[in-house]
Chain A
Amino acid sequence: MKSKLHCLLLVIVFMGAFFVAAMPAHAAKITVVTTLTDLADFARAVGGDLVEVHSLATGVEDTHGVPMKPSFVPIMNRADLLVLVGFDCEHAFLPALLEASKNPRIQKGTPGYVDCSKGIVPCDVPKSTDHSEGDVHPYGNPHYTLDPVLAKTAIANIYNALAAFAPQHQAEFARNRDLYLIELDAKIAGWEKELKPFRGLKFVSYHEHWPYFAERFGLVYYGTIELKPGIDPTARHIEEMVASMKADHVPIVVREPQFPEKVPKRIAEQTGATMITLPIMPGGVPNTETYVKMMDYIVQTMVTAMQSRK
């Protein structure tokens, strides 16, 4: 009986030690959870050493298909701020995760729910949200961060949220933001210069990721390989796309790495276009760990593809 009691006490002590060890240390930093990696990069740039940033996506996922891992729940449970793209970009995984997180600080409508689409005028707002149009985004295309000028609006929203959460650090956040924007503005000028000779260039992609990018750099976003958002192409759609691409001399097929290579490659072969693989968020392909590196990669890959066709 005595030995059993000792065993029981030992188990209780062990479990207590386990839970105490597992408890997070007092968080001096602001805990920020972002849905995607581009927002994580912006949050790190603005927050600097004052923030601890976790991204739910690693960069290789589809923006609409980040797996709902239970391991995200404790991270979100402790978050001070949740930074998201908005325009329903995260509709497939975020609502359920938010509910499971049981964190009242980051629920929709609270200051901790940082919707970076605030201030963005969306493109491609559907006239109908009927499912005959596929998995449409009712508020418009959510892939605005691929336009670096619109990305500055996201950065501003993150800055505002951090400054409101920790006003004592507002000056430091402002300094970090300004430094990052100086770098970004210089980069934007460079990217515009590099892509200027290709203004009017037509291209297609698998999913509707690129209208904002095309608009910014004077390119022509010709269409998607997907039949409708979230709906794989049918044989007829591919046939029609090949015919129209040939007629309109579309030279580039963009394949996002989240989607299979087979169909984009076939379309490129049949039309004589060049297929390139472009990331849609930092980390999507090697050497694109930051937003600036990713945009560098996108612009360089596009320029190289066009130059190789001359």
Chain B
Amino acid sequence: MRKAVILMTILGVLSFSTGAIAQTVEDRLTALEDTLKKQEQTINDQKKFIEELKAELQKARPPAPQAGGPAEQVQEQVQELKEKVDQVAEAQTRTIPSVFNPAIGLVGETVFSYRSKGSDDTGSDRPGGFDAFQRSVELNLSASVDPFAKGYAVINASADPRTGESNATVEEAAIQTTSLPWNLTVKGGRFFGEFGRLSYIHDHELPFVNRPLALDQYVGGESRTDGVQVNYLLPIPHYVSLTVGAGNQFGGDVPPNDVGTFRQGSNVNYWGRASTYFDVTPNISFEPGISGLWNPATTDRDGGLVQPDGSTFFERERRLAGADFMLSYKPLRNNQFQSLTWGTEVLYSDNRYDVAMPSGTLLTGRTVGSLGLYSYLTYKFHRQWSAGFLYDFVESAQNKGARTSAYSPYVTWALSHWNQLRLQYTYTDPNTATGLKPDNAVYLQWAWIIGSHSHGWQER
């Protein structure tokens, strides 16, 4: 009985529960359907709204650029420019170890020659017959030292004329002021002192192949000195330049004049130069100058100089005076294609010697006055071509009776500013007092430059 009651109760509860659940599900399904319909409506409304917005946006937006159109090209150009600017900016940040290096240039000069006589007859330091001579290999360096000075050096590694050995020598290494007041410039170190017209010009920049005989005889080749030089530009409307200097050597081929002794002020070389300039016409100019060199008490410069008569000269005082001029015709319009230049320099040497005669007698304080000159005319008839003639005359500084003349026509072909060939014939005519013989010579000079090279004021 008890079991029957329990079963009846369970069945009653189940039947009631089932009816209630059925009722709830139906309601919820209905509610869900309603919700779904509403959501569908909302979505449709939103889709419609989005379409409307898209249409409006399409109206407001400019048309899309066509491929390859102007806007795209501008964009490409901007991008290209940006890349270039980036590259430049990047380059600025690079480390460049050579950034403070000076300007560097190298000059090479080879002289091919044929001389009809040997060096015993010509007195030359080169052999007779056929010869090829690498006369100079010059390394030029220059840069500003600081805001107040510039520095430069010329290292020459030419072959020794006699041994053929290449010896690097310092031809020039000097500092020069750039900002002194009162129109002054001071140069110190080893440099070519300002004497005459061509003595301070390097070989490869001469208008002919060889240095004039008078400069070789009296100056000693290039006017190299170890010393100091002051230049003053007169503060007037007319160009006048004054130079004075002092050094313990003057002339590239001669050694210092008193090695091993106590150097007095009188043992030093003193020199000076004054030059001016006149525009005769716009196309014609005249540039005269005078120079002087004095060493009051030289002691055995060059040692004893043995003469053909057997006597030996010891230089005790060096005195040299010079006057020079250059007359130029350079038509302004085509001066690079045509010009005519006449340059002349006259030198008078008045040295004092002690002379040891072959007999053993010593003559002291003997003065020898001697004269030398050179004169040349160069005609430029094309940007690349010029031709000229050089006349040389010199008396020996120890014997004015020993005279030599030379005549040299030359033609120059400058393929460019940095590559130049020059052909020169020279007839040298020494008199018998020199102990030398006349000879004929043909020279072919080939000079070239690589790297930095600029002509200074002196080489104008």
Contact = CB atoms under 8 A, between A and B. Distances in A.
A96 B337 contact: no
Given A99-B457, A102-B185, A74 B333 contact: no
Interface string B376-417: 000000011000000000000000000000000000000011
B155 to A, nearest CB: 21
A74 B237 contact: yes
A126 B457 CA distance: 28
B112 interface: no
A56 to B, nearest CB: 11
Contacts of B335: 61, 65, 67
Interface in A131-153: 131, 134-135
A68 B225 CA distance: 27
A289 to B, nearest CB: 16
Contacts of A232: 383-384
Given A65-B335, A131-B418, A135-B417, A22 B236 contact: yes
A70 B287 contact: yes
B279 interface: yes
Interface stretch (B32-40, B120-128, B258-266, B448-456): B448-456
A257 interface: yes
Contacts of B330: 67
Contact of B416 (A75, A95, A230): A230
Interface in B231-249: 233-239, 241
Contacts of B456: 96, 99
A19 B242 CA distance: 15
Given A19-B236, A22-B238, A107-B178, A69 B334 contact: no
Contacts of A100: 233, 457
Contacts of B241: 70
A258 interface: yes
A68 B455 CA distance: 11
A104 B236 CA distance: 17
What is the predominant secondary structure among interface residues of chain A facing chain B? loop
Contacts of B166: none
Interface of B is mostly: loop
B263 to A, nearest CB: 32
A172 interface: no
Nearest to B330: A67
A286 interface: no
A147 to B, nearest CB: 22
A58 interface: yes
Interface residues of A, number: 38
A52 interface: no
A131 B450 CA distance: 8
Contacts of A230: 416-417
B233 A73 contact: yes
Instruction: Kindly name the residue among A65, A78, A91, A134 whose own CB sees the greatest number of chain B CB atoms within 10 A.
Output: A65
B235 A77 contact: yes
A74 B238 contact: yes
B236 A259 contact: no
Nearest to B287: A70
Contacts of A257: 333
A229 B233 CA distance: 35
A68 B332 CA distance: 11
B279 A71 contact: yes
Contact of B183 (A22, A67, A102, A135): A102
A67 B235 contact: no
A91 B453 CA distance: 11
B285 interface: yes
A67 B239 contact: no
Contacts of A96: 454-457, 460
Nearest to A104: B179
Contacts of B450: 131
A35 B365 CA distance: 56
Contact of A60 (B238, B278, B332): B332
Nearest to B460: A68
A230 B417 CA distance: 9
B97 interface: no
B343 to A, nearest CB: 15
B168 interface: no
A231 B416 CA distance: 6
Nearest to A96: B457
Given A24-B236, A230-B417, 10 more contacts: A22-B238, A60-B333, A67-B332, A69-B285, A70-B241, A70-B276, A77-B235, A131-B418, A232-B384, A260-B337
5 contacts: A61-B332, A65-B336, A67-B330, A135-B416, A230-B416
Nearest 8 CB-CB pairings of A with B: A70-B277, A22-B236, A70-B239, A60-B333, A68-B460, A100-B457, A96-B457, A65-B336
